[in-house]
Structure formats: C-alpha cells, structure tokens
C-alpha cells in the first residue's frame, strides 16, 4: 500500500484535542475529572446569543450562505477595525481556520515563519501544513525578545506570528515591543499574523494592544479573532480574519473550496454576540482575574510569573520532576492519581512547565488546585529524601 502524504505524516495531532478525548473517555468510565487542561470557558453563551441562534434555525437559516460569511456579520466585525469594511473580514470556522488559511495563502515551500515560544500547539503544525518551516525563538520571562526575533530573520522569512495575550503563558506584550516588531516587519518586508483570540482578557489595569494599532503595518497584517473565548462560544466555531482586501479575497477563494461558509445559524448567534452589553465583559474579566489570583495563591510553591492576560498560568515544575521525567509523564500521573487534567508544557515548546486553565467553575478550580498542590507537596518531600 502506498503511504499517506509526507505532509500529513509530518504533522502531529493537537495535544490538547487529544487530551480532551482522554478526559471524555475517563468520564465515561465514571471518573470525576477536574479539567484544568483544556482552554475553554465553562460558562454558557449569553441567552440572547442562544435565542438568536435558535430563531435563525427556526426561520430556516439552514442553507449555504456566502463562503466569506454573512455580510451583516462581516460588517459588524469590521466595526472593530478603524477604516475597515466588510471586504476586509473573512468569517471562519474558529480562528483556528483563519490562521490555517492565512498561512496557506502566505507561504511557499521554501518559506520560514517565526514564532516566539512557548506557543499555541497548532502554529508549528499549521506552518508545516502550508509547506513552510516554523522557526521558534525563545522569549525572556515569557516576554518577546525582539533582538532574538530580528536575529532569526533571513531571506527565507515570510512572516512573524504574534499571540498576545498568550496561550500558554498568559503574557501580554506591551505596545513598545509590538511597535518594535511592527517596525522590523516593515524594514524586512515581512507579513505579520496577530492571533488575538484572548484580546478581551487583560488584567491588572493593563489594556490590550493590537498590532492593528500601528497603521504603518496594516498593509501586511492579518489579525485572527475569535468568538470562542470572548463570548463562550467554543462549539459554535465562529472566528474571523481581518486583513487588507486582497488578502481576504485570496483567503475567501481558498475557503470556497475548503468548507464554504461557516454554519449559517451559528453566524446569526455570533451576530447577536457582537451586540453584547460591554459591562458584561467587565464583570467576567473581574471574575477571571480573581480566579487567576486564587490559582497563584494555592500554587504559591510553584515558580510562576504572574500572567497579565488570557486564562492560563504556566508554572515551572522542573524542580518537581524525577530525573529524566517529562511533563507529559507528570501530567499523565496527575490525571490518573488525582483525576486532574493539566496540559504538559512540551506540547507548547515549554519543557519543564505545565499549563493550567483557570476559566472553570470556582469550586471545581479550588478542588483541582488543592489536589495539584498535594501532588507537588508529596513530590517535594520525596525528592528531598
Ligand atoms: C492562541 C489560540 N489561537 C487560536 C485558537 C483557536 O480558537 P478557535 O478556533 O476556537 O477560535 C486557540 C484555541 O485554544 C488559541 O488558544
């Protein structure tokens, strides 16, 4: 039998999607799993979002629609981007597809794409699927090392991916560093992909700074945004790309052959979400900030820089590992011994760390964290002997 394509053999399954499957299996076996492993807010979408989706379904919004998305939704999303109209927006199946499509449209086989690491699990694999090569550049205390990024640029570099607030570290990059990256992209004629899936979650009185805030790079910038996290709509699969018209037209051409439109009635739900009362964001952000603080307090024995955004902490667990042990092995032990799911750092290029998602219900969060603290206490004792 002939082999499957090199392209797919070269790509691994998303570690977090795999973990989700393992958790479902354990739950089916009756295990009471506290899931701090998957990056998903536990809350339901707002009632008006659910009813707009149901009404769309009831009035027969069940047909193919325009491949690039409902015009009303494209208009509504464009309002967030000064000077942009519907033709600058592509509605995608989650921001995951916006990122995938952007890379397919930008990259040729000889190209390289720079990503600061640790980074979200799908970037490297999506770059490989576009035939290009990921170039990972270390961060310093989870912040951008702009000098190292510039050093990594060569004649093959096509684009830089920036993700702020960051998954898995929760780091928020300050405007001055983003401006340096913007200047660098312009100087070296590079595209910029800005993954802003967590834009709504910035704490400690800071504000989200987008690469879109720098007009001199808007001609080379693709912003990937999502309804998943901001509006608790992960299962709706609605995201978008915002970019210059010619890039969006190229991305829409690919989408027309790939999936066609995003689920029509889900897009009506997303349209309703754009009309959400902004005070709801504030309340929710405050709740998440409190949960972040609870997490850092219960796990105070683990070295961890305070994340200013997203809904993850990414502590360094190196000193709790047995000789030669990976965080993958540690996460498996935690899952089987105390029924708590966490994501291993290796999945994100962050060896020696684990990622904990705190966007879960508070009682569950505290229960999971206390079980984790117990494991680390026992390990500390055992390793000191
Ligand atoms: C950094 C980052 N980008 C993109 C995504 C994709 O999200 P979605 O496809 O649900 O919009 C995720 C999901 O976890 C993420 O963490």
The per-residue pLDDT for 211 is: 98
C-alpha span between 244 and 157 (Å, rounded): 20
- Strand order, beta sheet including 343-344: 312-313, 354-357, 343-344
For 6-44+278-384, give the CATH class.
alpha beta
Q: What's the gap in Å between 220 CA and the centre of ligand 1? A: 22
The reported pLDDT for the residue numbered 280 is 83
CA pair distance 159, 157, nearest whole angstrom? 6
Q: Looking at ligand 1, which atom is closest to the CA of residue 98?
A: 9
Torsion angles phi and psi, residue 277, rounded to 5: -65, 120
Report yes or no: 224 and 95 within 8 Å, Cβ to Cβ: yes
Question: 69, 251 in Cβ contact below 8 A?
Answer: no
Determine the atom of ligand 1 nearest the C-alpha atom of 195: 3
- Phi/psi class of residue 30: alpha, beta or left (left: φ > 0; alpha: ψ in -120 to 50)? left
20 ligand 1 Cβ < 6 A: no
- Only one residue has tokens 């999936």, namely 259
The C-alpha R_g of the chain, in whole angstroms, comes to 21
Other Cβ atoms within 10 Å of 111 Cβ, number? 18
CA of 148 to the centre of ligand 1 (A): 26
- 3-state secondary structure string, 222-239? EEEEECCCCCCCHHHCCE
With a 6 Å cutoff on the Cβ, whether 167 touches ligand 1 is: yes
What b/e readout covers 271-292, taking b as 16+ CB neighbours within 10 angstroms? bbbbeeeeeeeeebeeebbebb
Q: What is the 3-state secondary structure (H, E, C) of 90-153?
A: EEECHHHHHHHHHHHHHCCCCCEEEEEECCCCHHHHHHHHCCCEEEEEECECCECCHHHHHHHC
Quick one: which atom of ligand 1 is closest to the CA of 39?
Answer: 14
Q: What does the block give as tokens for 114?
A: 């720079």
Ligand 1 centre from 95 Cα, in Å?
6
Of all protein residues, the one whose alpha carbon is nearest to atom 14 of ligand 1 is 39
> Reading across the β-sheet that carries 191-195, which strands appear in turn?
89-92, 239-242, 221-226, 191-195, 157-163, 112-117, 133-138
The answer, yes or no, to whether any atom of ligand 1 lies below 6 A from the CB of 120, is yes
From the CA of 166, give the closest atom in ligand 1.
Answer: 1
Comparing CA positions, the residue from 103, 69, 104, 66 lying closest to residue 89 is: 69
Give the model's pLDDT for residue 46: 93
Fold of 63-273: 3.40.640
pLDDT digits (tens, 9 = 90+) for 86-114: 999 999 999 999 999 999 999 999 999 99
How far apart are the C-alpha atoms of 151 and 57, rounded to whole Å?
52
Which of 35, 37, 95, 233 to probe ligand 1 with, by most ligand atoms within 8 A of CB?
Answer: 95
For 38, the token pair is 């998957």
Q: Distance between CA 149 and CA 41 in Å, rounded?
A: 32
64's enclosing H/E stretch is none
Residues of the chain with pLDDT under 70: 383-385
Helices (H) and strands (E) in the chain, counts: 13, 12
CB of 228 sitting under 6 A from ligand 1: yes
User: What spacing in Å lies between the alpha carbon of 372 and ligand 1's midpoint?
Assistant: 25
Q: Verify whether ligand 1 is closer than 6 Å to residue 234 (CB atom).
A: yes
SS3 for 195?
strand
Per-residue confidence (pLDDT) for residue 375, from 0 to 100? 94
Domain with CATH 3.90.1150.10 in the chain: 6-44+278-384
pLDDT for res 382 = 74
Domain(s) of CATH 3.40.640.10: residues in the chain:
63-273
Centre of ligand 1 to C-alpha 73, Å, is 20
Q: Is the CB of 339 under 6 A from ligand 1?
A: no
The secondary structure of residue 220, as a DSSP letter, is G
Assess whether the C-beta atom of 96 lies below 6 angstroms from ligand 1. yes
Looking from the CA of 142 toward its CB, the CA atoms found within 13 Å total 26
202 strand-pairing partners: 309
> What integer pLDDT is reported at residue 76 of this predicted model?
98
DSSP state of 382: H
Rounded-to-integer distance, Cα 23 and Cα 20, Å: 5
């Amino acid at each position: 039998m002939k082999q499957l394509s090199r392209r797919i053999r070269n790509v691994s399954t998303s570690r977090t999607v795999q973990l989700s499957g393992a958790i479902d299996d354990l739950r089916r076996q009756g295990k009471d799993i506290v899931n701090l492993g998957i990056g998903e807010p536990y809350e339901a979408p707002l009632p008006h979002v659910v009813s707009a989706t149901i009404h769309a379904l009831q009035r027969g919004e069940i047909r193919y629609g325009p491949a690039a998305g409902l015009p009303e939704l494209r208009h509504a999303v464009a309002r967030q981007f000064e000077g942009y109209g519907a033709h600058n927006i592509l509605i995608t199946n989650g921001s995951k597809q916006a990122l995938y499509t952007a890379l397919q449209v930008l990259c040729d086989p000889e190209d390289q794409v720079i990503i600061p690491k640790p980074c979200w699990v799908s970037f490297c694999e999506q770059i490989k699927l576009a035939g290009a090569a990921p170039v990972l550049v270390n961060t310093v205390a989870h912040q951008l090392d702009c000098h190292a990024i510039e050093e990594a640029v060569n004649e093959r570099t096509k684009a830089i991916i920036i993700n702020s607030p960051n998954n898995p570290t929760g780091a928020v990059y300050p405007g001055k560093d983003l401006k340096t990256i913007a200047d660098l992209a312009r100087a070296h004629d590079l595209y910029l992909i800005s993954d802003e899936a967590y834009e709504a979650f910035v704490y400690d009185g800071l504000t989200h700074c987008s690469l879109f805030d720098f007009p001199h790079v808007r001609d080379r910038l693709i912003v990937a945004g999502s309804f998943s996290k901001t509006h608790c709509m992960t299962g709706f699969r609605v995201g978008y790309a915002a970019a210059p018209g010619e890039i969006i037209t190229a991305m829409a051409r690919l989408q027309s052959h790939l999936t066609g439109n995003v689920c029509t009635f889900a897009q009506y739900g997303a349209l309703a979400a754009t009309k959400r009362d902004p005070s709801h964001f504030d309340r929710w952000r405050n709740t998440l900030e409190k949960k972040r603080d609870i997490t850092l307090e219960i796990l105070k024995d683990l070295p961890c820089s305070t994340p200013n955004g997203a809904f993850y902490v990414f502590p360094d667990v190196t000193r709790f590992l047995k000789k030669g042990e990976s965080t993958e092995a540690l996460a498996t032990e935690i899952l089987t011994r105390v029924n708590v799911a966490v994501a291993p750092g290796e999945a994100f290029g962050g060896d020696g760390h684990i990622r904990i998602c705190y966007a879960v219900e508070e009682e569950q969060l505290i229960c999971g964290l206390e079980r984790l603290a117990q494991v680390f206490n026992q390990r500390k004792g055992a390793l000191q002997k």
